[in-house]
A and B are shown apart, each in its own frame.
Chain A
Amino acid sequence: MTATIDVDNLMSRLLNVGMSGGRLTTSVNEQELQTCCAVAKSVFASQASLLEVEPPIIVCGDIHGQYSDLLRIFDKNGFPPDINFLFLGDYVDRGRQNIETICLMFCFKIKYPENFFMLRGNHECPAINRVYGFYEECNRRYKSTRLWSIFQDTFNWMPLCGLIGSRILCMHGGLSPHLQTLDQLRQLPRPQDPPNPSIGIDLLWADPDQWVKGWQANTRGVSYVFGQDVVADVCSRLDIDLVARAHQVVQDGYEFFASKKMVTIFSAPHYCGQFDNSAATMKVDENMVCTFVMYKPTPKSLRKG
């Protein structure tokens, strides 16, 4: 059975959603959302567990349902397929417009599967998004827990890792003590909600720690924290130049670790309406030169000197 969907029409309506709340539910019905999930699932299934992509590409971190900020990223960099994108996960929870966010991204994935790439974040796991906002939003706006379940089926097929130009390894959370070769990442099983413990859990949950050597228990209660020595060792062993990850809010939207061998990228400015952080995206050009674009928490730029 193959589901059919008018992606252009759905995208058009999603992009016209300018307000939080009711507008989406009157212009997009639940059946369309379910179909969108089903088609996106088949696209994820048709691509590798380790996404191997080439520059030029824009790498983006957490979005967390901040739909207008997602649109700012496209406004500033360009829309697919003119620009290639790799997102590092955490599209839902915490923000106010989870469904618009994840569905627009699924539409881009369906329409431009070779220009638009999405990794899985820890918030694309049912145990987390059941509690931190996504379940509540599906229930409140569409009165449907079935819709939420269908999203989980699609999330289970999402890849956990990306490799850009063979030199930049990307994941949502961090490294794993079990990671020895890239082939392990190529062979990660799907569909799956990664069991704890596993390489998959570490790729979703691990954090770097400036004050740690080697591996230690993560205070989040899942996976590990790792030190700069681990990053240097992994880069050497896998013959890569950089590890790009998201998972943690950082003040300027990006932050280096281990002398530029690892970078955290966070793309939700004014996160949760509580932090005053900027967001950032990392641009990798065709010559493998990296720059960062920053997005201030206040989107209006009316001030002048």
Chain B
Amino acid sequence: MDHSELIAELPEIERMTAQERIALARDRRRLQLRRNDERERALPPPRPRRQRLHFAAEVELLEATCRADYAEVERLLNDNANPNLHNDDGLTPLHQCAIDDNQQIMLLLLERGANVNAQDTEQWTPLHAAACCAHINIVKILIQAGANLLAVNAEGNMPYDICDHEETLDVIESEMAARGITQSYIDEMRGAPEKAMLDDMKMLHQQGRELDARAPDGSTYLHVASANGYYDVAAFLLTCSVSPLIRDNDFWQPVHAAACWAQPDLIELLCQYGGDIHAKTKNGETPMDLCEDMSTKQVISQLVQTEARRRRLAFGVRDSRRQSKKRKKFESPQQGATTGDNPFSARGAIRRQSLRDRSGLTPARIEAQKEGADILRTWSKEDVSADVHSSQGSLQHQRESPSKRVLKYYFQSSQNKQAKPMSPDEWLRKLETNADDDLDTTPKRSGSTRRRQKKVPGDMSDSRNGDVRRQKSTCCCVIC
């Protein structure tokens, strides 16, 4: 209502009673509200005020680093972004700079407190990444900032192991020499993660605790050792009677983990202790299905063939036992029983004893090998006194150069003997030959006799793997 209408209305309002005035006021207010509602409905709906989108700090910092946006990185750091934030993979902005050869942002990050030795979930440091990519200037910056030259990643590689570029490798190795880093120290650092786990296992064993305890996903220490290639840890667990057939929640056995992470030595070890090379996961995957590394696939193939051969020989062994039973009619019962028992218990004893004691020949091992010789003698049916004499001489020779590889081939040839019985002295001579070959195959760069693999294999790596493979093939041929 406009003003003039209100003024004109006043005399009439003055004549109203109080109650009539109140009623009129209510009517007017109701009308007022209705008109306001109508006006508001006629208006276009207001734009909603919505919360703006933001990305988490680690997402923003990594994204700006990836785009090489120096100004944005600097702004984020000035806003107190933590330079050590990382994504789910553990990748930090410093890793990203190493991968992208971004020196400018790397220097900025280091200046603001980035951890030069940050490790991602595969234990790679920025120096691993820079060495692998052959970004020589980044390598120099990282070394200057105190990078750990001996950091070991999940594959057991130090930065210099995965550097294929000569000039960059020179920078790293020169710095290692300048810091007085010796080969024995390198070996010690390389083996540190495995040694730590082995010490833990031994402590648990001494305390009488379970060595087959499970993680929430059902995995055990043996799964972890098999995945990481921790040979000594796995050997320890197996000798403490942890089953090689133990399954996690996905029905992965240790042999699946070893196949998946390309640990051929571990696969062989597990199978020696009764692991199943044909085992299937819940998804129906065999070790061969899970393996993507060609060298490891070859090892699995050989084990599959060996397994097939052993199954056929299982009948042969039983036949042999039946024969020995027949001989009971003509020989003393004691001798027959001894013959029947020896093949299995003696071989098992040899395997366990030799794994436990790798530092050299001991009387126990000499005795074990003599038992092996006895078994061979039974098969070959040759003269007793002559064989004993020969084997003793050979054992003396072996004492000079024992190594793990010798023991491995010992078992391998032991299995082959079931197929092709040979005289003991002939077999022992081949063992000596293997020992000589093993020494030559030791890779120069790595102090460990166990083969290391690079995350990104280069030509050199393939070549070295090929050499190792050829050596093993030669050894097998010699044995056969």
Residues in A lying within 8 Å of B, measured CB to CB? 18-20, 68, 165-168, 239, 241-242, 252, 256, 259-260, 278, 280, 284, 287-294, 296, 298, 300-305
Additional A-B contact list (18), CB under 8 Å, known A292-B88, A300-B260: A18-B282, A19-B282, A19-B283, A165-B50, A166-B48, A167-B53, A256-B66, A256-B67, A287-B54, A288-B53, A290-B56, A292-B59, A300-B250, A303-B154, A303-B224, A303-B261, A304-B228, A305-B123
The answer to whether A303 and B51 touch (CB under 8 A), given A260-B60, A290-B59, A298-B260, is: no
Shortest Cβ gap from A166 to chain B (Å): 4
Neighbour of A288 across the interface among B51, B193, B219, CB < 8 A:
B51
- B257 contacts the other chain (Cβ, under 8 Å)? yes
Cross-chain contact B55 with A302 (CB below 8 angstroms): no
Contact assessment for A305 and B119 in the assembled complex, using a CB-CB cutoff below 8 Å:
yes
27 contacts between A and B (CB under 8 A): A19-B282, A165-B53, A166-B48, A167-B50, A167-B53, A239-B47, A241-B53, A242-B53, A256-B66, A256-B67, A278-B89, A287-B51, A289-B54, A289-B55, A290-B53, A290-B55, A290-B56, A291-B55, A292-B59, A293-B88, A298-B260, A300-B260, A302-B219, A302-B226, A302-B261, A303-B261, A305-B123
Residues on B with C-beta less than 8 A from A165 are 50-51, 53
Q: A298–B87 Cα gap in the complex (Å)? A: 17
User: Is B175's CB within 8 Å of the partner chain A?
Assistant: no
Interface residues in B118-138 (C-beta closer than 8 Å to A): 119, 121-123
Cβ-neighbour of A291 out of B48, B59, B226 (below 8 A): B59
Which chain A residues border B227 with CB–CB below 8 Å?
Answer: 300, 302-303
What separation, in Å, do the CA atoms of A293 and B88 have in the docked complex?
Answer: 6
Q: Is B52 an interface residue (CB 8 A)?
A: yes
Contact B154 A259, beta carbon cutoff 8 Å: no
By secondary structure, the A interface counts as loop
Report the Cα distance A239→B58, complex, angstroms.
25
CB of B223 within 8 Å of the partner chain = yes
Give the 3 A-B CB pairs with smallest separation, nearest first.
A294-B88, A241-B53, A302-B227
Q: Find chain B residues with CB under 8 A from A287 CB.
A: 51, 54
CB-CB under 8 A from B223, the residues of chain A are 302
A284: B residues at CB distance < 8 A: 53
A294 touches B56 (CB 8 A): no
Asked whether any CB of chain A lies closer than 8 Å to the CB of B63, the reply is yes
**Nearest-CB residue, chain A, relative to B152:** A305
Residues on the B chain within 8 Å of A294, using CB: 87-89
B95 to chain A, nearest CB (A): 12
B107-122 to A contact mask, C-beta < 8 Å, 1/0:
0000000000001011
Question: Contacts of B60 on A, CB cut-off 8 Å?
Answer: 260
How many Å from the CB of A208 to the closest CB on chain B?
Answer: 15
Distance (whole angstroms) from the CB of A232 to the closest CB of chain B:
15
CB distance from A255 to the nearest CB of B (A): 9
Interface presence of B284 (CB below 8 A): yes
Chain A residues whose CB sits within 8 angstroms of the CB of B89 once the complex forms: 252, 278, 294, 296
Choose from B50, B56, B123 the contact partner of A289 (Cβ within 8 Å).
Answer: B56
In the bound complex, CA of A167 to CA of B228 (Å): 45
Residue among B56, B58, B228, B284 making CB contact with A20, cutoff 8 Å: B284
Residue ID in chain B nearest A302 by CB atoms? B227
Complex Cα distance A211/B89, Å? 28
B160 at the interface (CB under 8 A from A): no
Q: In the complex, what distance in Å separates the CA atom of A301 from the CA atom of B193?
A: 17
What separation, in Å, do the CA atoms of A20 and B227 have in the docked complex?
A: 25
Cα A304 to Cα B63 with chains together (Å)? 28
Q: Which residues of A contact B58 (CB under 8 A)?
A: 291
B252 within 8 A of A: yes
Smallest beta-carbon distance A48→chain B, Å: 17
> In the complex, A134 Cα to B59 Cα: how many Å?
36
CB-contacts of B219-251 with A (<8 A): 219, 223-224, 226-228, 250
Residues of A within 8 A of B283 (CB): 18-20, 68
Given that A290-B53, A294-B88 are contacting pairs, would A259 and B228 also be in contact in the complex, using a CB cutoff of 8 Å? no
Tell me, rounded to whole Å, the shortest Cβ–Cβ distance linking A286 to chain B: 9
Complex Cα distance, B50 from A256, in Å, reads 23
Closest B residue to A294 using CB positions: B88
Whether the pair B55, A260 counts as a contact (CB closer than 8 A) is: yes
Taking the nearest CB of chain B, how far is it from the CB of A88, in angstroms?
A: 17
Cα–Cα, bound, A292→B55 (Å): 9
Interfacial chain A residues near B224, Cβ < 8 Å: 302-304
Q: Count chain B CB atoms within 10 A of each CB in A300, A301, A302 and give the residue with the most.
A: A302
CB atoms of B257 and A302 under 8 A apart: yes
Check B228–A291 contact: CB distance below 8 A: no
A20–B87 alpha-carbon span in the complex (Å): 32
Q: Find the B residue at minimum CB distance from A239.
A: B47
Q: Which residues of B contact A289 (CB under 8 A)?
A: 54-56
A288 x B284 contact (CB < 8 A): no
Judging by beta carbons under 8 Å apart, are A300 and B53 in contact? Answer: no
In the complex, which residues of chain A have a beta carbon less than 8 angstroms from the beta carbon of B55? Answer: 260, 289-291
Whether A168 and B67, one on each chain, are in contact in the complex, defined by CB atoms closer than 8 angstroms, is no
Chain B residue with Cβ nearest A19: B284
The complex places the Cα of A278 from the Cα of B123 at a distance, in Å, of 17
In the complex, how many angstroms separate the beta carbon of B200 from the nearest chain A beta carbon? 11
Most buried by A among B59, B89, B119: B59
- Which chain A residue shows the least CB distance to B60? A260
Task: Give the residues in chain A near B121, CB-CB below 8 Å.
Answer: 296
Nearest chain A residue, comparing its CB with the CB of B283: A19
Kindly report which residue of chain A lies nearest to residue B227, judged by CB atoms: A302
- B54–A291 CB distance below 8 A: no
Choose among A166, A280, A290 the residue that contacts B54 (Cβ–Cβ < 8 A): A290
Q: How far is B219's CA from A168's CA once the two chains are assembled, in angstroms?
A: 40
| Residues of chain A contacted by B123 (CB below 8 angstroms) | 305
Are A166 and B63 in touch, CB under 8 angstroms? no
Which residues of the partner chain B approach A301 to less than 8 Å between Cβ atoms?
217
Which residues 58-82 in B have Cβ within 8 Å of A in the complex? 58-60, 63, 66-67
